[in-house]
A and B are shown apart, each in its own frame.
Chain A
């Protein structure tokens, strides 16, 4: 991918952030936030996944644009699968 070699300090910083977010998501799950418990858990998971993709997987620094196209396409089709399926299942039997 990129020729650029990232500093180990950056990797350790990302690791520390991921560890903190893991503890935070576990602790927050015991707090009653009503319907927002799931939202908070998924937002934290998405932040963690983004950090892994951008830094550990070097996507932030790659000069290969096709990699980004593949990632966006994978994400888009996953979203399509989940959103359209749930749009069906959650609106059945309403009438």
Chain B
């Protein structure tokens, strides 16, 4: 980079002139994204902390409630999210290499996996609705109490488990919906040929967001579905 004002004219439109080069511009954008993700860690951290405290207080209710979740759908959904993370990583790679068509394919695949996750999650929520396991006036956990006579279960605290379940999976699903929205915009812009090997910052940062949401689920899955699956004594 030269200090001559003429040098300003030599870079492409993707480089803002207050950055020395595209690499510095990319590093700055990426650092900003990581700072945002750090605030997201604290955002979800509060929920995880509340979950830990209530689980410590009402372990039996949390264990029984966890066993009522569909572990197969939960495991499949974990796998779906991991697949979507792979397509995001490969999409960023395609963008780095300037392969625009490949990028479009991976963005589409990511959207398909993301929507599959949300569909399966919706099915799980609907099952809970049918079982009257949604906290509120029509909440009824008689089926859980009957299924585990060896566990002392207080229905009030059982409701606490499902409140945590819906709050945490709901907040995660909201992040997924935002992610799907982001990737739809990226797909539109990628189809218009907006991204190149020189400029793919939005792809990379949306990718970081998507991976973060995947990591949140990586912790939600064992904490909600796998608390106490071992055979009861």
Contacts and interface: CB of A to CB of B under 8 A. Distances in A.
A75 B41 CA distance: 8
A11 B41 contact: no
B230 A33 contact: yes
Nearest to A66: B31
Given A19-B82, A70-B34, A5 B218 contact: no
Nearest to B201: A1
Given A1-B30, A3-B23, A89-B53, A56 B85 contact: yes
Contact of A5 (B93, B214, B230): B93
B45 A81 contact: yes
A90 B230 contact: no
Contacts, number: 132
Nearest to B34: A70
B229 A86 contact: no
B222 A42 contact: yes
Contacts of A5: 93, 96-97
8 pairs of A and B residues whose beta carbons are closest in the complex: A41-B222, A74-B38, A29-B226, A32-B230, A15-B86, A29-B229, A74-B41, A56-B89
Interface of A: 1, 3, 5-6, 8, 11-12, 14-15, 18-19, 22-23, 25-26, 29-33, 37-38, 41-42, 44-45, 48-49, 52-53, 55-57, 62, 64, 66-67, 70-71, 73-75, 77-78, 81-82, 85-86, 89-90
Interface of B: 23, 26-27, 30-31, 34-35, 37-38, 41-42, 45-46, 48-49, 52-53, 56-57, 71, 75, 78-79, 82-83, 85-86, 88-90, 93, 96-97, 204, 207-208, 211, 214-215, 218-219, 221-223, 225-231
16 contacts: A5-B96, A8-B93, A15-B83, A19-B79, A22-B82, A25-B226, A29-B71, A30-B229, A45-B219, A52-B211, A55-B89, A57-B211, A74-B37, A74-B41, A85-B52, A86-B53
